[in-house]
Amino acid sequence: MAEFQEVNEKSDLHPKPAGLVLQYGTAGFRTKAGNLDHIMFRMGLLAALRSRKTSAAIGVMVTASHNPEEDNGVKLVDPMGEMLAPAWESYASQLANAEQTDLVVTLKNIIEKEAIVMSQSANVFVGRDTRSSSVLLSQAVLDGVSALGGVSKDYGLVTTPQLHFMVCCHNTQGEYGEPTVDGYYKKLCQAFSQLCKNASNRTDDQKHLTVDGANGVGALKVREIEGHIKKELQISLVNDCGGKLNHQCGADFVKVQQKPPTGMKVNAGERCCSFDGDADRIVYYYIDSEGRFHLLDGDKIATLISTFLKELLIQAGLELNLAVVQTAYANGSSTQYLENTMKARKDSRSSYSKVPVRCTKTGVKHLHHAALEFDIGVYFEANGHGTVLFSKAAQEKIQQLTEDSNTNDERKRAVLLLQSTINVINQTVGDAISDMLLVEAILAIKGMTAQQWDAIYTDLPNRQLKVKVADRCVIDTTEAERRAVSPAGLQDCIDGLVKKYPHGRSFVRPSGTEDVVRVYAEADTQDNADALAHEVSVAVYRMAGGVGAEPKPL
């Protein structure tokens, strides 16, 4: 076949480093940028095959998200804007690790196994973040697409969620929206403006938000979106690409360090948020009058959104199955609040009722899959990556109610708010810009400050540690990674340690990328959370083959 001759020729321009082995994971491929040229070329090949298999456009995003600037990576986007199908992740790894002489054989094996018709057209959308390495690496993707006779559309600098959005729009023939950056802004901003019409008497202070763009592509896109929403929201943008990407700034830095990004002056009570490098994560925060830092992470965001939606469903008289999907890393207070808290309205009807919580394994793909099981699934990782999914049936019921002339004013208002909420959300993937607009709209409608939002529940003090081990595979878990089944006796030991501390909770799980075991612990005080995390770390070290010195107390 002629296309394989071109693959061989172009592959020689993107050689694989000897001995390099990489695996496609939740974040796709991610490592030092200098090791990724051949990976990008081969992901262009794979995207062309995937497009032919699905008869749809496939996305390829060149980004390393919250990683340091010297890193880079790539992830593929499936037809509805979702993450790559798990079966194809193994194909990605096979292609990435094939030696130069075996590349065509590996391609042919995939084509045969998937019964791909090579005469079928292939359409691939490509986007990249602001890393200096991304220009050449995205060109390698384009080379891979063309080597297999595919047609590519290079969107250039876009956020990861924008590329997901445009793939979905194209493949739904415009039903989800227009597959352009302007179409993205138009859909989200019009919905945001509609929501804000339900917020009365907002002061200029309440309309102001300080945004940390992590010196990434999200900062560029916030600049573009400002003109669309300036009446409803005034944004002060910091880390707007004048510094090093993700360096002492961004969502991951703020979440881990528990402090504002370097260079940001935060006044008491001022509402702030941070994106990560490709703008698919967001966390909020503020400083109180005593100078203490308060983080409003993915758990707080999920709680705010889900209780708002639950209230609207009750007001609209809609019986839809709403649930929140979390991982074991979600703070125990958030889970308890969602499952147990009731808040009565003046008319004695329940405004906030219990919201079921589903716990899944760590990784956005697991949360997204679980959220699809509900009429409305709200999912967020504690790191701020998440969104809301509305089933087709739920959207149809909401639409029908907006068109029903017998709907009274209260129900009509609630259902119109639901409809605008659907349109401001990027359902394809977690999206910092979309999530920011939704949070800002909810706070405006409810007349809430960041402090009032934070006071909904108080996070339990927690600590995360890691223990280096000879082989992380000795740790096996169950119940969405909340309990260890091996090595024998470890879980019994953890259970005994947890009982020593009020509100104690702890779990361990093997890292997906390195030989370490991650330890998480919660308790009533920070000292107790630290002590519990240390004791569990020692147990892991002694029972799971720890390497180096035994963990010391914090």
Q: How far is CA 344 from CA 336, 349, 351, in A?
A: 17, 6, 6
Structure tokens at 148: 């297999």
List all residues 6 or more positions away from 527 whose beta carbon is below 8 Å from its beta carbon: none
Q: Are strands 234-238 and 71-77 parallel, antiparallel or unpaired?
A: unpaired
Q: Nearest 5°: CA angle at 8, between 7 and 11?
A: 80
Give backbone dihedrals phi and psi of 317, rounded to 5 degrees, phi first. Answer: 70, 30
List all residues 6 or more positions away from 102 whose beta carbon is below 8 Å from its beta carbon: none
Closest CA to 43 of 117, 105, 124, 115: 124
Does 65 participate in catalysis according to the annotation?
yes
Single-letter code of the amino acid located at 433: I
List all residues 6 or more positions away from 338 whose beta carbon is below 8 Å from its beta carbon: 303, 306, 307, 324, 354, 355, 356, 357
Closest CA to 356 of 338, 330, 375: 338
- The residues that bridge with 67 in the sheet, in sequence order, are none
Cα–Cα dist 153/156, whole Å = 9
172 in helix, strand or coil? coil
Provide the terminal-to-terminal Cα distance of the chain, rounded to the nearest Å.
62
The rounded Cα 129 to chain-centroid distance in angstroms is: 16
Question: Does an H or E element contain 79, and which?
Answer: none
Structure tokens at 344: 């009565």
Structure tokens at 16: 């694989």
Q: What ranges make up the beta strands (E) of 335-458?
A: 343-344, 350-352, 357-360, 376-380, 386-390
Q: How far is CA 452 from CA 70, 109, 231, 312, 429, in A?
A: 39, 58, 24, 20, 28
Cα–Cα dist 238/249, whole Å = 10
Cα–Cα dist 202/195, whole Å = 13
List all residues 6 or more positions away from 237 whose beta carbon is below 8 Å from its beta carbon: 210, 211, 213, 219, 222, 223
Among 65, 134, 333, 537, which one carries the catalytic annotation?
65
Give the DSSP letter of residue 427. T
Closest CA to 133 of 68, 65, 72, 61: 72
Single-letter code of the amino acid located at 289: S
- The residues that bridge with 275 in the sheet, in sequence order, are 282
Cα–Cα dist 152/40, whole Å = 14
Question: Does an H or E element contain 296, and which?
Answer: strand 293-296
Cα–Cα dist 357/324, whole Å = 5
Where in the sequence numbering do the catalytic residues fall? 65
